[in-house]
Amino acid sequence: MNILSVGCGRKSSEPDVIRLDKSSEVEPDIVWDLDELPYPFDNSRFSEIECFDVIEHLQDIPKTLEEFYRILEPNGTLKITTPHFSCANSFVDPTHKWHLSYFSFDYFCQEHKLSYYSDAKYTIKHRHIQFQGGRFNRSIISRLANKFPHTYEQRWAWIFPAWYLYFELEASKEVNFNL
């Protein structure tokens, strides 16, 4: 199994996917408190981790990203979705601890001026601000927000709120050949 689904919820069982969730009611492959680190996996175990609508619930995002980095193989992919900070759902759900931005994961990239706060280093392969609603939001506003994300978040996010964020991060670590 090469993919880890963190906070899998009611995701159906699939070949090559380990489903990890804190709730036994959703019948994951492994019941685990997602805030309890380290996770019960060897280093460089997974080629991909999916963390869909979960990261905003976790106690410590930097430590969690370091744990994901540990269990991802070199150049492994971390996929994250989370409500955008301007989304009403970001604040409505009382279990959300964090309200994240297009730029929230930049701190884990070597190029960021504060990257020295974490040993986990990722490359952002893709990120997208997603909108809901009519064609105006999904096409015009979406194109402008994704082309000019800083301006969108500084000036327009509260007028044209986004729905969620999607990220694909690649673990930037060397392949370790133990011969």
> pLDDT by residue (tens digit) across 74-98?
999 999 999 999 999 999 999 999 9
Over residues 105-126, the pLDDT tens digits come to 999 998 877 777 888 999 999 9
Q: What confidence tens digit (pLDDT) does each residue in 120-165 have?
A: 999 999 999 999 977 767 789 999 999 999 999 999 999 999 999 9
DSSP output for 86-101: TSHHHHH-TT----B-
Average pLDDT over all residues of the chain: 93
* pLDDT in the model for residue 175: 65
In terms of Cα–Cα distance, which of 17, 24, 13, 22 is closest to 45? 17
Please state whether the predicted TM-score (pTM) of the whole model is above 0.85.
yes
Domains in the chain: ranges and CATH: 3-171 (3.40.50.150)
Per-residue pLDDT, 174: 76
Query: What burial letters (b/e) apply to 29-53, b meaning 16+ CB within 10 Å?
Result: eeebebeeeebebeebbbbbbbbbb
Separation between Cα atoms, residue 102 and residue 90, nearest integer Å: 14
Average pLDDT on 101-108 reads 96
Lookup result for tokens 């133990």: 178
Average pLDDT for 43-53: 98
